[in-house]
Amino acid sequence: MKISTSTPTGAGAGAPAAKSVQDYIDELPVWSDGTRLKAAPMTTMQWLIWSLAAAGKFFEGFVVFMTGVALPLVVREFHIGAAEKGIVSAASLAGILFGAVLLGGLSDHFGRKRMFVAEMVIFVAFLALLILSTSFLALAICLFGLGLALGCDYPTAHMVISENIPSANRGRLVLGAFGFQALGALAGTGVGSIVLILHPALSAWRWMYATAIVPALAITIARFFVVESANWLAVRGDHEQAERSVTRLLRREPQYPTNIRIERQGGRAAAEGQGRQSFGALFNARNRRATIFASVPWFIQDLSTYGIGIFTPVILAAAIGGGPDHIRSLSDLIANDILASKGAALIDLLLLVGIVFAVALADRVGRIRLQIWGFIGCAVGLLLASFSADVGGESKIVLIFSGFMLFDFMTNMGPNAQTYLLAGEVFPTEVRGMGAGFAAAFAKIGAVATAFLFPILLVDIGTRALLYGLVVASLLGAVVTWQYRIETTGVNLDHVGRDAPDLAHAPDGSLGQPPQRVPV
């Protein structure tokens, strides 16, 4: 049975009618008997782009969460205090903050592919320098450099996926790639534990980070072979190059669509108009609600997720190993770190389970519901863990593990996944990249603050008070999400922010109109 293209043909010369890039990507094949497929199958190039974007999220989880395992060894080797310890923990997150703002938006000027490659080049360079660091200052600078690359990846990876895949698959595939952050977190704590077992020495932290160099280099090379975003090329008015890019992107057997011709509407004039959008456009009457909704809950979520994620090994070491007073030698330190990293790896398994639920439910239950109930679930998990301060022995361990595992599951099913997805959806197309970059950067202010202050507050106010503060923050995240909600589930993103200029939300959470359903 043959496949025929559904592309309409023009009159006279038989040339195909011009269509948008997304129309070609979304086009459904038709069998020769007239049967139309329900979904456009992904091509090899589309899967390559998705997998390389997912790899970037993996390295973020791997590096950031491995820091929690490496931290006790770094503290010992460089003889640093609580403040310096906080700087080490926050350095990569600070880099993510600046990377999202300063580098993420560059893809609008230089292209998605160039920044997609550049961020990995930066990552590999600083990773190599990190394992050679001989001072606290050099260590902090290298971790900050790693964060710059990872920060650039936040908006870039989202756009690389969204602009090259069928619309019906957008939610699932964006969240699926984001889920590799959880896989990276699990791998980071797991690899850290294995390295400590195989190489029980202070230098073990260098080998932990060194394990990422070869895979990161392979991903960097592979990114040179992906196509440039045809959507970006078309917006800039480079229609011929966009047609070649779409042809490579949609290469399949049997081939469809054929005779690709991109519509010429807008061109460079539209690109120049978009270029005049200033940063202040995110805070005008049209976009202010979206900016608050995308940024504030993500900020609140990062307060808890990165604090708990980085310092789970530290908290477990204090609870299980008996605290720093029981560490009398380097061997005691390493034994305690191994035990804590194993426990953290077990807890991080729930991050994977949570993201699986997020992928399955986001297009069915809706982003808003998942985010609100996720925040509430995080509060319950942290409250449960705080009760461990009142008991001892096996009950203490059960409460800590149960609370942190519930937290990890609920955060990845809810706010950790949904804030990332929503930030790339709630803004109008002309400011979407800038808006997503700002939201990611604003969120990382929370991550940097909690990473820096956690080691200090753990000493000054104790684990219980710190967990109580995060419980309140999680509940606040649920309230803000409800107050400023913009539900994008099933909504055509080209209409977001346009059909309701005042951005007043309807009772169902949409932008003042019933959401337009699309195939999922």
Average pLDDT over residues 475-491: 87
Inter-CA distances, 510 with 113, 290, 355, 516, Å = 33, 12, 24, 10
Residue (of 345, 439, 354, 343) closest to 396 by Cα position: 343
Inter-CA distances, 81 with 77, 78, 321, Å = 12, 9, 21
pLDDT at 182 over 70: yes
Sign for the pseudo-dihedral over CA of 118, 121, 125, 126 = positive
Which residues have a Cβ under 8 Å from the Cβ of 54 and sit 6 or more positions away? 176, 177, 179, 180
Provide the percentage of residues in the chain whose pLDDT is more than 90.
Answer: 24
Q: What does the alpha-carbon distance between residue 450 and residue 68 come to, in Å, rounded to a whole number? A: 13
Q: What per-residue string of b and e applies to 204-221 under the rule 16 or more CB within 10 Å gives b? A: bbbbbbebbeeebbebbe
Residue 159: what pLDDT?
A: 83
Q: Where is pLDDT greater, at 28 or 173?
A: 173
pLDDT at 258 over 90: no
Highest mean pLDDT pick, 43-52, 99-108, 250-259, 321-330: 43-52
pLDDT at 380 over 50: yes
Highest mean pLDDT pick, 265-269, 291-295, 458-462, 509-513: 291-295
Contact predicate 56/64, CB 8 Å: no
Average pLDDT over residues 401-428: 86
**pTM greater than the 0.85 cutoff:** no
Q: What does the alpha-carbon distance between residue 130 and residue 260 come to, in Å, rounded to a whole number? A: 47
pLDDT at 190 over 90: no
Confidence of residue 378 (pLDDT cuts 50, 70, 90): very high
Please state which of the ranges 225-239, 371-385, 481-495, 506-520 shows the lowest mean pLDDT: 506-520
- Average pLDDT in the chain: 78
110-138 pLDDT per residue, tens: 888 999 999 999 999 999 999 999 888 99
pLDDT at 9 over 60: no
> Tokens for 502?
């005042």
Confidence of residue 297 (pLDDT cuts 50, 70, 90): very high
274-289 pLDDT per residue, tens: 444 677 888 888 889 9
Q: What does the alpha-carbon distance between residue 39 and residue 168 come to, in Å, rounded to a whole number? A: 8
Bridge partners, residue 145, by sequence: none
3-state secondary structure 292-317: HHHHHHHHHHHHHHHHHHHHHHHHHH
141-150 pLDDT per residue, tens: 999 999 899 8
Residue 197: what pLDDT?
A: 84
CA angle 106, 59, 231 (to 5 degrees): 35
Rg, the chain, Cα only: 24
Q: What does the alpha-carbon distance between residue 211 and residue 224 come to, in Å, rounded to a whole number? A: 22
Residue 376: what pLDDT?
A: 96
Average pLDDT over residues 488-517: 45
Confidence of residue 373 (pLDDT cuts 50, 70, 90): very high
Q: What does the alpha-carbon distance between residue 39 and residue 30 come to, in Å, rounded to a whole number? A: 11
Contact predicate 216/124, CB 8 Å: yes
CA 235 distance to own-chain centroid: 25
Structural fold of domain 47-228+287-495: Growth Hormone; Chain: A; (1.20.1250)
